[in-house]
Amino acid sequence: MDAIVEAALKKWPNVPHCYGWLALDARGDWYMRDDRIRAAGPFPQIKGSRIVHDKLQAFIGRNYAADERGCWFFQNGPQRVYVELEAAPWVWRLTDTTDTTDTATGCTLTSHTGRRAVARSCWLDDFGRLFLDSDLGLGLVHSLDMETAADAILRGEWTPQDLPFSALPARFGYRLQPQGVEDGDRGMHP
């Protein structure tokens, strides 16, 4: 977490949490969802405004975490902005590190926030999407990296197991929509 964010938390410890304003899609893009967008329909059917400013994307990524309930958020100064997830808390970009001499094999995982991870297991949902559980948690393999993932599976790095999408959040301890699970939380709701 950024030092400036930690300082803001100490200075203003009781700022209400925010729900419904930020979302993460299945390609690792962040979306702002204002009142007009939320009134038009739920995420991901109506996404909102994609955040394209690279410094804002990086700030969100550095301050992205989960609470004890499995709800993911962006710590924006003293305010916790909860994130609606289309598929999983992480979206993986894969790099094939197999070199031409076969001395190094494997795939590296980099999250949509730029964090490196190590895969522990591989899951295929009922929509044909590939998920990797890692030391950071569960993430969806980016659609542009499916060929790299297929190569890793063929090399025997991962063995996909079937699991319906509806079972993934409970199995891996995350929530797609944090709103409605406050349990006494001090949240602000649109």
H-helix or E-strand containing 58? Answer: helix 54-62
Name every residue whose Cβ is closer than 8 Å to that of residue 78 and which is 6 or more positions away in sequence.
8, 9, 11, 12, 13, 15
The predicted structure's pLDDT at residue 179? 79
* Radius of gyration of the CA atoms of the chain, in A: 18
Of 114, 147, 153, the residue nearest 132 (C-alpha): 153
Q: Where in the chain are the domains?
A: 3-87+174-188, 90-167
Of 169, 45, 30, the residue nearest 112 (C-alpha): 30
The predicted structure's pLDDT at residue 12? 57
Name every residue whose Cβ is closer than 8 Å to that of residue 29 and which is 6 or more positions away in sequence.
50, 51, 112
Confidence of residue 78 (pLDDT cuts 50, 70, 90): confident
pLDDT of 39 above 80: yes
CATH code given to domain 3-87+174-188: 3.10.540
The predicted structure's pLDDT at residue 14? 73
In sequence order, the β-bridge partners of residue 85 are 24
- Alpha-carbon distance of 120 to 137, in angstroms, equals 9
Cβ neighbours around 11 below 10 Å, total: 10
pLDDT of 124 above 60: yes
* Mean confidence (pLDDT) of the chain: 89
Mean pLDDT, residues 59-73: 96
For 95-130, b/e burial (b = at least 16 CB within 10 A) is ebebeeeeeeeebebbbbbeeebebeebbebeeebb
pLDDT digit string (tens) for 135-145?
999 999 999 99
Name every residue whose Cβ is closer than 8 Å to that of residue 35 and which is 6 or more positions away in sequence.
190
Q: What percent of the chain has pLDDT over 90?
A: 76
